[in-house]
Chain A
């Protein structure tokens, strides 16, 4: 059995008595192949998280000395109205983006997988364009769309509201702009996940249901939706993570303003750490962001596995 995949690993745990060196020799090839990636990930990803934790528990004096302050930075943050607002806006940003993206993603996924239509693979590529556009570039475009004197969105809103708004100077409209921008960028990502799920559903299922007199809504709620739940949860998880940590589009569009009206957590972190160089506070916000991500991840994971069983 001199194969590649067939190297038996059934009992490697019992072989541990032979020591680490034995394992390293026996699995020399895969370990060697993974070694550089492993080391780089350790140095540039795992260690920084650890030292970020340390950083978040310290405060630097002007002379550059670090002083251990325990949870002082966190206590400071949670007593601050601005920070609580950052937290609230982050959740609003994620929730707003998802509640706009998911319905459109479902509609688009059903359309591009529709067996009755031909030649629609062009649309699949087209719909993905926002996803591959650089965040800074789409931000520039959205800035010009909402420009107070020449932007078409301003014209449109002038028609609706009756007076000419300065979109990004209005707290509510500014928040809607950053949500709309993220929605435009991310719906097609969810769409492709859902489309992959839908193409895996056998067509006979729909035909049988239609013969039995099921309505279109029933086809969706009884077949499409239950069978794409996993795809939905997974793509929602990814978009949640991206929206939560998105600093660049919000920073490019509004810098968190007007005032702090669009200052989501990630932008606050970006400003504190990389504009004002308060690394300790930045690290503390980073840890909070990391904690929120883990909570979201576990929640989605539970949703996915809970529904499988």
Chain B
């Protein structure tokens, strides 16, 4: 009987924390789906007018497209480099390897401090106010942790098959693409989702490197909407929900791999 009481208390604790976590998100969803001047907590009617409104705005579609370009571009640059780097760290010992701990320090540094000189830097390189510049910066800032995640993942993939393939005359790159990569798909998915979410969600780098309204990414766009729409919460939360959907969908589909990639591995 005592054990049962303890289980009930624990379930209540879980539900309470879940309520705390979900309330703001559900509130956002509710506001995005109810008519403008409806204030009750449980809406009497549901409307898609705010979603119609934001999707009828050309600038919103443009921001979304920019976000897709920047995010996919970042993944395309980060992933191959992270695979090579992670492979080198997991499979070889070499002089200078001790410095690889820096890959764990870099992501902790206040990158906002790096952004200040980067602005004049990229300006000189002709990459200021260019999506490509933003893609490069996102990639470089994501790279250390991506390399580290893949390194940890690769340490758990057995090397024997690779060795056999090398003996049989495969080149190193063939070994990676034909043998190692298929074995590390969960790790690759985890890293891809990680890079996707951090890049898609990021406002700061874009705010520093992009000033042309037409090139803005979605988080920048939403912040600009706060300025122009004021307290039109229906539209603002609808835009927020659209920005929230891709990370949430990816995360819910692959959460086991994502959590293992980010937390299981980082703790090793």
Contact of B247 among A31, A132, A266 (CB under 8 A): A132
The answer on a CB contact under 8 Å between B255 and A274 is no
Whether B24 and A184, one on each chain, are in contact in the complex, defined by CB atoms closer than 8 angstroms, is yes
Specify which chain B residues have a CB less than 8 angstroms from the CB of A167 in the assembled complex: none
The interface residues of chain A, by DSSP majority, are classed as helix
Q: How far is the CA of A286 from the CA of B243 in the complex (A)?
A: 30
> Is A129 a contact partner of B248 (Cβ separation < 8 A)?
yes
Could you tell me the distance between the alpha carbons of A5 and B20 in the complex, rounded to whole angstroms? 48
A133, A145, A147: which has the most chain B beta carbons within 10 Å? A133
- Which of B110, B120, B203 has the largest count of A CB atoms less than 10 A from its CB? B110
- A188 with B21: CB separation less than 8 A: yes
Interchain CA distance A143-B235 in the complex, whole Å: 13
Give Cα A285–Cα B114 distance, bound, in whole angstroms. 11
Contact check: which of B17, B105, B166, B237 meets A104 at CB < 8 Å?
B17
Contact at B251–A144, with CB atoms within 8 Å? no
- Chain B CB within 8 A of A205 CB: no
A199-240 to B contact mask, C-beta < 8 Å, 1/0: 000000000000000000000000000000001001001100
When distances are taken between beta carbons in the complex, the residues of chain A under 8 Å from B95 are 9, 12-13, 23, 27
Measured between beta carbons, the chain A residues less than 8 angstroms from B43 are none
Residue A125 at the B interface, CB < 8 A?
yes
CB of A76 within 8 Å of the partner chain: no
A37: Cβ under 8 A from any B Cβ: yes
Q: How many Å lie between the Cα of A184 and that of B87 in the bound state?
A: 36
- What are some 16 contacts across the A-B interface (CB < 8 A)? A29-B88, A40-B136, A40-B143, A41-B143, A51-B121, A117-B7, A117-B14, A125-B251, A130-B24, A136-B203, A144-B31, A149-B231, A184-B20, A184-B24, A241-B110, A273-B116
Extra inter-chain contacts (13) besides given A33-B88, A247-B112, CB under 8 Å: A29-B172, A48-B114, A117-B14, A120-B14, A128-B251, A129-B248, A133-B201, A134-B247, A140-B28, A140-B222, A193-B263, A289-B112, A289-B113
The 6 closest A-B pairs by CB, nearest first: A286-B113, A134-B201, A245-B110, A33-B88, A30-B88, A30-B92
